[in-house]
Amino acid sequence: MRVVYVNGKYLKEDEAKISIFDRSILFSDSVYEVTSVVNKKLIDFDNHMKRLDRSMKELHFSKKINHTTILDFHRKLVEENNLQEGIVYLQISRGVVDRDFTITNNNIEPTIFAFTQEKKILESENAKKGIKVMTTDDLRWKRCDIKTTQLLYPSLAKTDSFKKGFDDAWMIRNGFVMEGTSNNAWIIKNKIILTRQSDNLILGGITREAVTNCAKALKYEVSTKPFTLVDAQSADEAFITSATAFVTPVIKINSSTVGDGKPGVFTKALREEYIKQALNNAI
């Protein structure tokens, strides 16, 4: 049984509880981060903390949480649960208050909890074989840059993709590819690597940022601009990035095979470079 963290306490997972009045339950009024763990070390932790601060600031959460405290309980959870490879999930909600649409009390104590989950990251099947994605309308709100726990639509979209024999869904607005249900979308055409600019319509991925730097280190050309579904279906290579997928090839988009239907050479090189840098900088 896992040990989890709730508001300063380490508890057995079946003893961990939060209030039914927590605003994360009633309004999804909470933000989260997922940090991957490889060889018991945290990947890109500092950047996850920067994004966490930003998400909390955008939602006007009153209290800032100290990064050293967060690092301490992440490390303790990894240790207590002997987590070699997987993730630490962290969620911070505005807190517990009587149900009301208007937020009148700005002094609520945030609810903070975290837990570990084992997951194969370095040697994942998806990374070896590549994944198939279908497309779906992007029906999310227009503040996708805030990492809130309002995840019902992406969860339904991913489930629908599984039912239809795909591994994930890419969300489309006005013919343009926004992102995957929990990852950023990329294509490569004529040796140019394309990913959409980050604005209010997608989440600025931590891995996206790191992979952009990897591409520069490999002297590849990266262009951050929108691309359409038609562009994606005629691309030479395609891939996704996220904290747990790292760089994972996309080999099919709807009924179109991407390139020769196998993980592409640029994608493989980017994955290798990302793994090298991520493990070097893990803490």
Binding mask 139-178 for ligand PMP (x = CB under 6 A): ----------------------------------------
Q: Between residues 108 and 282, which has the closer beta carbon with respect to ligand PMP?
A: 282
DSSP state of 51: H
| Distance from the Cα of residue 68 to its chain's centroid | 22
Name which of residues 209 to 268 contact ligand PMP (CB under 6 A).
Answer: 241-243
Residue 138 in the binding site for ligand PMP (CB under 6 A): no
Binding mask 173-212 for ligand PMP (x = CB under 6 A): ------x--xxx------------------x-xxxx----
Which of 147, 158, 189, 276 is catalytic? The answer is 147
Residue with tokens 């747990």: 244
What are 91's strand-pairing partners? 32, 113
Name which of residues 68 to 87 contact ligand PMP (CB under 6 A).
Answer: none
Closest approach, Cβ 242 to ligand PMP, in A, equals 4
Report the sign of the C-alpha dihedral through residues 257, 260, 263, 266, in that order: negative
Residue with tokens 């998806």: 126
Name which of residues 27 to 46 contact ligand PMP (CB under 6 A).
Answer: 34
Closest approach, Cβ 34 to ligand PMP, in A, equals 6
**Helical axes 206-217 vs 265-281, angle rounded to 10°:** 110
Closest approach, Cβ 281 to ligand PMP, in A, equals 15
Q: Is 252 a catalytic residue?
A: no
Closest approach, Cβ 63 to ligand PMP, in A, equals 23
The tokens describing 114, both together, are 């975290």
Positions that interact with ligand PMP (CB under 6 A): 34, 179, 182-184, 203, 205-208, 241-243
Catalytic residues, by residue number, are 147
